[in-house]
């Protein structure tokens, strides 16, 4: 073998020390997850003009006193600087969307009958109580999804009175489980980082039942899940966001209330008490982002606990900025061992949930010392 060939063959080995040093330099970022740059789902898009904001949402008609729609359902959405009307097709739990019309974002919402599609304000009993109507030809569809800042986000009609269901749930017992489970170690989340804020809807009347089911506005998770949540928070803070918690550990009896109160068409949004919920195990959290500078919640494509396809993590509606924020939250959480629930963009399960038992300890029976909550 001549010298030149030998030199070419041995040259890569001369780079091994440099390659090894580079690997050591970058390994911490590879091991511990995404960098601040890679966390974001692309460039942050601009917000849409205020004139269009209240019109963004789904339009259709509900069967009275139910969550079932009749006729066509349309989503008014924004993508890449254009307003689109999307027609929902297929089943509600697995919909697809077909574009049917578009409007220029830099123009005001159309009120004439150009192209046969227009928007207008005309409160109509049973069609558009808030007055927002999407007219397709000669058919008007009222807005059926709440605005982001609506005082009462979502409200269903319980199958039976909640007080009656609460009494039954408190008297019942969780399902029996066999297995070797970890010892529960619930941690009160607000003791871990001041950037964790609470908006515990189930302790107030602006939840989906219209009545409080928790006696206290508190949030707990098993310690490994809580620590992973804080790591996700620390990845979001450089981008200007904190975490707003809606729910975390949930006593089993509350899961039973939700299941028994929800009509059949909404069951995909609540857990079956015969199986228990990952919330019951202290390894699930419902949350969103808030702006660290203002303290205000960030707008998402759908509202919390909304029982509609807008809650799905891949819902194509809303605005580009709302979807960007939804995807940012998901990327941060999934980088720390959480998985988003397929029907709720706000719900994340920690990877070790199956290692903990179903718990049924009421909040008032938990005390918190040094962040550790245990039964009295």
Residue numbers annotated as active site: 344
CA distance 376 to 370: 15
CA distance 376 to 365: 6
For 309, the 3-state DSSP assignment is helix
If you ran DSSP here, which 8-state letter would residue 275 be given?
T
Q: What is the dihedral of CA 319, 345, 374, 353, to 10 degrees?
A: -150
CA distance 94 to 314: 11
Angle between helices 223-236 and 320-334 (to 10 degrees): 130
CA distance 262 to 269: 9
Please say whether the beta carbons of 283 and 352 come within 8 A: yes
For 290, the 3-state DSSP assignment is strand
CA distance 372 to 376: 12
CA distance 144 to 58: 6
């Amino acid at each position: 073998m001549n010298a030149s060939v030998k030199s070419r063959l041995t040259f890569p080995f001369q780079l091994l020390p440099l390659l090894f040093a580079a690997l050591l330099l970058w390994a911490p970022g590879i091991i511990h997850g995404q960098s601040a740059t890679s966390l974001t789902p692309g460039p942050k898009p601009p917000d849409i003009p205020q004139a269009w904001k209240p019109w963004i949402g789904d339009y259709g008609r509900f069967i009275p006193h139910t969550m079932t729609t009749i006729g066509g359902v349309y989503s008014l959405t924004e993508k890449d600087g254009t307003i689109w009307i999307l027609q929902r097709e297929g089943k509600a739990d697995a919909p697809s969307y077909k574009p049917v019309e578009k409007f220029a974002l830099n123009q005001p919402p159309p009120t004439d009958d150009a192209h046969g599609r227009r928007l207008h304000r005309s409160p109509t009993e049973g069609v558009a109580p808030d007055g927002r109507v999407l007219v397709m030809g000669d058919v008007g569809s009222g807005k059926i999804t709440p605005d982001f800042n609506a005082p009462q986000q979502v409200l269903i009609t319980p199958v039976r009175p909640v007080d009656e269901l609460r009494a039954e749930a408190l008297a019942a017992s969780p399902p029996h489980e066999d297995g070797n489970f970890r010892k529960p170690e619930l941690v009160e989340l607000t003791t871990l980082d001041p950037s964790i804020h609470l908006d515990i809807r189930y302790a107030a009347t602006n939840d989906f039942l219209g009545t409080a089911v928790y006696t206290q506005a508190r949030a707990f998770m098993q310690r490994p899940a809580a620590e992973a949540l804080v790591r996700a928070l620390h990845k979001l803070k450089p981008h200007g966001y904190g975490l707003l918690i809606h729910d975390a550990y949930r006593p089993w009896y509350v899961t039973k209330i939700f299941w028994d109160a929800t009509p059949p068409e909404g069951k995909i949004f609540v857990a079956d008490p015969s199986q228990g919920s990952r919330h019951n195990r202290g390894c699930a959290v419902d949350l969103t982002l808030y702006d660290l500078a203002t303290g205000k919640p960030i707008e998402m494509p759908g509202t919390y606990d909304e029982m509609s396809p807008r809650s799905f993590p891949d819902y194509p509606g809303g605005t580009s900025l709302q979807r960007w924020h939804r995807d940012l939250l998901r990327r941060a959480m999934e980088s720390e061992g959480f998985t988003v629930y397929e029907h709720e963009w706000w719900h994340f399960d920690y990877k070790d949930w199956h290692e903990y038992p179903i718990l049924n300890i009421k909040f008032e029976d938990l005390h918190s010392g040094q962040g550790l909550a245990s039964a009295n």
